[in-house]
Amino acid sequence: MPSAPPVVLSLIICDSSHVEPTTRKRSLLGLFNGIGASQYPVVHPTMHIAAEFTNGHGTTPITLKIVRVTADSLEGDEIFGGSVELEFPDPRATVAFGLQVNGLAIPAPGEYRVVLESEGILLLERRFLAAKVDNQGNLS
């Protein structure tokens, strides 16, 4: 187990990202914090989750979950999950992480959270809302 968990510098939800081949700079496209649909369940076609970490020590496991918050549980019901190992060459290094989630099934309107953990330790969570909208895009 690392001596300290990594620190999350950013956690962003967007439509996609692009990495410039020459400079390796990353651009995030279509940032959002909510999803609207006229009926549920709905499948959200693509969601990109981008995060940056520092204070990591060597190989560090990161778990990402998307959960639906319910009245029964603040922990939420997991609708997506995955894990990766990030390599930190030095604790002062900043390590970027990006994950494209395709075809995310969203069962109902309400609050959802993107949760980052390392070895069972909560690092950060980011909320987004799913709302019901009419055919003109207005909240219904």
**For the domain that residue 53 is a member of, what is the CATH number?**
2.60.40.1930
- Tell me, yes or no, whether 31 lies in a domain: yes
Domain that holds residue 54: 7-132
Give which of 70, 95, 72, 75 is closest to 85, Cα–Cα.
Answer: 95
- Tell me, yes or no, whether 1 lies in a domain: no
pLDDT for residue 1: 46
pTM: 0.89
- Tell me, yes or no, whether 42 lies in a domain: yes
- Tell me, yes or no, whether 13 lies in a domain: yes
pLDDT tens for residues 75-96? Answer: 789 999 999 999 999 999 999 9
Give me the number of domains the chain comprises. Answer: 1
Q: Which class for 74: exposed (0-12), middle (13-18), buried (19 or more C-beta within 10 A)? A: exposed
- Tell me, yes or no, whether 47 lies in a domain: yes
pLDDT for residue 75: 75
- Tell me, yes or no, whether 140 lies in a domain: no
Average pLDDT, the chain: 93
- Tell me, yes or no, whether 2 lies in a domain: no
- Tell me, yes or no, whether 90 lies in a domain: yes
pLDDT tens for residues 116-128? Answer: 999 999 999 999 9
Angle at 118 between CA 67 and CA 58, to 5 degrees: 150
pLDDT tens for residues 27-74? Answer: 999 999 999 999 999 999 999 999 999 999 999 999 999 999 987 876
pLDDT tens for residues 11-26? Answer: 999 999 999 999 989 9
pLDDT for residue 74: 67
